[in-house]
Amino acid sequence: TGWLPGKGRLAKTMGKLIIAQRIVGPKLWEIGRVGSGVDDATRKAAMRWTYPCVVTIKYDKQETDSRALRFPVFVRKHPDKTVEECK
């Protein structure tokens, strides 16, 4: 749904993506942030993406009570999909 600036050497680029999940209807529920798995070129490009957008995230497990993801890792952006197509 957006991004946060980085710190240290990443101060001038995207540090973390704010990730959300579509559960029921059009509403997006924030489920965490992910910064690992993102290379420098993608960090710079992410600052120009139109949000919300669709990305693939790998993770260990999703908490049942908060829906938060454990150990999320960015895989890739899906320019071929819209948020409305996600279930």
Q: Enter the pTM of the model.
A: 0.88
What's the pLDDT at 24? 77
pLDDT in tens, the chain (87 residues): 999 999 999 999 999 999 999 887 788 889 999 999 999 999 999 999 999 999 999 999 998 887 899 999 999 999 999 998 887
Query: Are 74 and 59 a contacting pair, CB within 8 Å?
Result: no
Quote the pLDDT of residue 23.
Answer: 80
Nearest CA to 45 among 74, 22, 73, 69? 74
Spatial neighbors of 10 by CB under 8 A, at least 6 apart, are 43
Give the pLDDT of residue 40.
95
Beta-carbon contacts of residue 40 (< 8 Å; ≥ 6 apart): 13
